[in-house]
Amino acid sequence: MSRKNIVALALLFSLSTAYPAFAETAYQRWLRMAVAARNSGNYDGALSYYQRAADESPNGPNDPDINKAIFEVLSERLQSFQTTAPNYVRFIRIADEAYYNGEYDTAIQNYRMALRQRPRDRYATLRIEQAECIKKNRPATGSQFRTMCPRF
């Protein structure tokens, strides 16, 4: 075997073993897509991609960086409706506060009011599904909540 062939084979071997280090993981791909969607103003898409990134995260589904990004996207999304749909924003804020306080009936009522302002709104629809799921499957005190409710 000639020296050129040996060098070429060595180069190919080194590149083939180094490739996995440069390959994009599913987590990185979803994260990249989430950032691109967010930067283009596609907040619903960004939320879906961030959720998929969380599913693939090396830190688990409750990755604090992903949760922070989701919170920021939700804030940006709401801000984008401030001038065009102020009533929608008001209902969503009331509903979100009730949701986080565990007042699911109030949350559902206000998410439905938000849907009247923006029919087919994915966020309000999903939050209603989540609140209804939590209400239905909420465990008695002291036991753990094990049911998976819809996510973004």
Question: 19-80 — its CATH code?
Answer: 1.20.58
Global confidence as pTM: 0.68
The answer, yes or no, to whether residue 127 has pLDDT greater than 80, is yes
Query: What DSSP designation does 118 have?
Result: S
Q: How many CB atoms lie within 10 A of CB 57?
A: 20
Q: Rounded to an integer, what distance in angstroms lies between the CA atom of residue 146 and that of residue 8? A: 55
The answer, yes or no, to whether residue 26 has pLDDT greater than 60, is yes
Residue with the larger pLDDT of the pair 9 and 148: 148
Rg of the chain on CA atoms, in Å: 22
Query: Domain residues of the chain, as ranges?
Result: 19-80, 82-152
Residue with the larger pLDDT of the pair 89 and 148: 89
Length in residues, the chain: 152
What's the pLDDT tens digit per position in 42-68? 998 999 999 899 889 888 777 888 889
Where do runs of H (alpha helix) occur along the chain?
A: 3-22, 26-39, 43-56, 64-80, 86-100, 104-117, 122-137
Q: Rounded to an integer, what distance in angstroms lies between the CA atom of residue 61 and that of residue 57? A: 6
Q: Rounded to an integer, what distance in angstroms lies between the CA atom of residue 130 and that of residue 134? A: 6
- Residue of 62, 13, 55, 60 lying closest to 30 (CA atoms): 55
Q: Rounded to an integer, what distance in angstroms lies between the CA atom of residue 108 and that of residue 111? A: 5
